[in-house]
A and B are shown apart, each in its own frame.
Chain A
Amino acid sequence: GQNIDQPTEMTATEGAIVQINCTYQTSGFNGLFWYQQHAGEAPTFLSYNVLDGLEEKGRFSSFLSRSKGYSYLLLKELQMKDSASYLCAALDSNYQLIWGAGTKLIIKP
């Protein structure tokens, strides 16, 4: 079956760095997305990786290893506004998005 695993909840301190991991098992693979979702709002796009390696975009970076079925989202210089759920989603061979349950990130002062 198809499956996405990511931690349910993580806690980090303002100004610190946090890494949110995601492992996936899909029928074929056409890329991996990270979305941010604040409570009561729709998701917003953060990153898309289809090739192995690290993609950096400001304070956020996303890494992909296709051979390991693994990705992580790295958030640096954490701010209180980064408190949100982070959704990992993989695109399978039929271009269907398989969503993870999301990781709730709690930032403490």
Chain B
Amino acid sequence: GAVVSQHPSRVICKSGTSVKIECRSLDFQATTMFWYRQFPKKSLMLMATSNEGSKATYEQGVEKDKFLINHASLTLSTLTVTSAHPEDSSFYICSATRGELYNEQFFGPGTRLTVL
């Protein structure tokens, strides 16, 4: 159990367009979902934490209007990269936790975004 899916796995888009990435917990209800960004050969950078039905908490330096997060249900969170630019090209990974404690995070497979 504890599978997290992410869609799409890869996306290539033109500069100025918006891209939506979905994160789903397939066999459990996720109390909290996290969105990370990872640059090549770098560690994970937490972008935001989202709880179902409430606004996401963004990390310092992450633009809320640029990276829109919607946590519509206990099994679905979406990240929309608005007006994407080449510098937004990255590997975006979501993770989810279950239960009250922030213990083990279950990661999705990641989405490779390339903005031309």
Contact = CB atoms under 8 A, between A and B. Distances in A.
Q: Sort chain B's interface into a size bin.
A: 20 to 34
Interface stretch (A15-23, A57-65, A91-99): A91-99
Interface stretch (B11-19, B40-48, B64-72, B75-83): B40-48
Contact of B107 (A31, A40, A42): A42
Contacts of A44: 107
B103 A87 contact: no
Contacts, number: 47
B8 interface: no
Given A41-B110, A42-B93, A42-B109, A101 B104 contact: no
Contacts of B44: 43, 87, 99
Nearest to B110: A42
Interface residues of A, number: 21
A48 B103 contact: yes
A41 B91 CA distance: 9
Interface string A94-109: 0111011110100000
Contact of B105 (A40, A97, A100, A101): A97
A48 B107 contact: no
25 contacts: A33-B104, A41-B110, A42-B6, A42-B93, A42-B95, A42-B107, A42-B109, A42-B110, A43-B44, A43-B93, A43-B107, A45-B107, A87-B44, A91-B102, A91-B103, A95-B101, A95-B102, A96-B46, A96-B102, A97-B46, A97-B102, A97-B105, A99-B43, A99-B44, A101-B43
Interface of A: 30-31, 33, 35, 40-45, 48, 87, 91, 95-97, 99-102, 104
